[in-house]
Amino acid sequence: MQKPRSVFTTGEVAKICNVAPRTVSKWFDGGHLRGYRIPGSKDRRIPVEHLIRFMRVHGIPLNGLDTGAFCVLLFDSDAEWTCAIRQSLIANEEFDVIIAENALEAGSAIHQHKPRAIVVDVDRVGLDPTVIVRFIRTLDSADPITLIATGSHLDSGRGEALLQSGFDAYLSKPFDIHALKSLLHEKTSTVPVG
């Protein structure tokens, strides 16, 4: 098994972040991205922990890195809510969170980032929940994707209907972030309980 990388060049960082190498050099020279220079050279090196911190702060997806973080897709058109949930989930660096406000963004994020869990506000995304389930369940994924439905004042009857349609769990908004974290731990066997 190949050992994970601990240091990257500016060119490698540029590919990971999908920017030009010159942009990475500007980040480095401006003190935004921490690292070091090779003695006797102008070459820059960026340790993985500094790169991850920089990417998280600036909302750059970590899909180019093997961080061990669990990728969660928040599919909801309420930007304020998704930003708050994202900040809560990434705080302890256990989760990498991608946000999609519409079906096109969600489909693209699913293919690009391969999330292990998708949290869908069934009231706001403008799609029939059964369509979402059918799409997710037809994907050829190495690991099963956990589907969690959210919505305003989901009662047990509606929640049970969502479970019957193929969702793995549901949460009624507003909910405590710890309830979501617990569900992510419970419904996915690879997330360590911490």
Whether pTM > 0.75 for this model: the answer is: no
User: What are the distances in angstroms from CA 32 to CA 25, 67, 153, 172?
Assistant: 10, 21, 42, 39
- Other CB atoms within a 10 A radius of the CB of residue 100 amount to 23
What does the pLDDT read at residue 194? 39
Instruction: Give the per-residue pLDDT at 63.
Output: 64
77 & 35 share domain: no
In a domain, 120, yes or no: yes
Is 177 within a domain?
yes
Q: State the pLDDT at residue 166.
A: 93
As to burial, measured by CB atoms within 10 angstroms (0-12 exposed, 13-18 middle, 19+ buried), residue 129 is buried
On whether both 52 and 80 belong to a single domain, the answer is: no
Residue 27 lies in a domain: yes
For residues 96 and 181, state if they share a domain: yes
Same domain assignment for residues 52 and 125: no
Q: What is the pLDDT, as a whole number, of residue 65?
A: 65
- Given a cut of 70, the residues of the chain with pLDDT beneath it are 1-5, 63-69, 92-93, 140-143, 188-194
Residue 117 lies in a domain: yes
- CATH number of the domain at 134, please: 3.40.50.2300
CA angle 43, 44, 48 (to 5 degrees): 145
Q: What is the pLDDT of residue 193?
A: 40
**How confident is the model at residue 190, as a pLDDT?**
46
Please, which residues bridge with residue 95 across strands?
70
Residues 109 and 48 in one domain: no
CB-based contact 172:143 (threshold 8 Å): no
Query: Where in the sequence is the domain holding 174, given as residue range(s)?
Result: 70-187
Q: What's the DSSP call for residue 140?
A: -
Verify cis geometry, omega within 30 degrees of 0, for the bond prior to 174. yes
Tokens of 83: 């930003």
Tokens describing residue 32: 């935004």
Say if CB 79 and CB 39 are below 8 A apart: no
51 plus 74 within the same structural domain: no
pLDDT tens, position by position, 90-131: 876 678 888 999 888 888 888 877 888 999 999 887 788 888
Residue 130 phi, psi (nearest 5): -65, -30
